Amino acid sequence: GENVEQHPSTLSVQEGDSAVIKCTYSDSASNYFPWYKQELGKRPQLIIDIRSNVGEKKDQRIAVTLNKTAKHFSLHITETQPEDSAVYFCAASWMDSSYKLIFGSGTRLLVRP
């Protein structure tokens, strides 16, 4: 089955700096890669996603890149702000009839003021 590895497990950056979180997946059939943000005590919320026919997607300060050959994808957050502090999860799925999402183990991002 699919396996998703996520690094680093913790990341501390200065406000205004960039943050990069990386994930690798094992199943080459995976074709959908969402990123979720989870604040303390809250539910995970989708922040951005990318499909396998696209190499990069941006939404304001957030971008995701996908390298299908290497089977890895990354989340980039620019101009980080204290409210970006949270746990971020990557996931992989193959959009057949199942839509199963397999998650990475999460990255705790701390943005220091």
Partner 1 sequence: NAGVTQTPKFQVLKTGQSMTLQCAQDMNHEYMSWYRQDPGMGLRLIHYSVGAGITDQGEVPNGYNVSRSTTEDFPLRLLSAAPSQTSVYFCASGGGQGFQFFGPGTRLTVL
User: Which residues in this chain contact partner 1 in the complex, by CB under 8 A?
Assistant: 1, 6, 9, 32, 34, 36, 42-46, 49, 51, 89, 91, 93, 95, 97-106
Nearest-approach distance from CB 17 to partner 1, in angstroms: 25
Dihedral sign of CA atoms 60, 62, 108, 81 in order: negative
Nearest-approach distance from CB 106 to partner 1, in angstroms: 5
Minimum CB distance to partner 1 smaller for 8 or for 82: 8
> Which residues are CB-contacts of 9 (< 8 A; sequence separation ≥ 6)?
105, 106, 107, 108
- Establish whether the linkage from the previous residue to 8 is cis, with ω within 30° of 0: yes
Residue 85 DSSP class: -
Nearest-approach distance from CB 32 to partner 1, in angstroms: 4
- Bridge partners (DSSP) of residue 34 are 49
Minimum CB distance to partner 1 smaller for 19 or for 90: 90
Minimum CB distance to partner 1 smaller for 77 or for 106: 106
Both structure tokens of 66:
């996908």
Minimum CB distance to partner 1 smaller for 3 or for 28: 3
Nearest-approach distance from CB 109 to partner 1, in angstroms: 15
Q: How far apart are CA 113 and CA 107, in angstroms?
A: 19
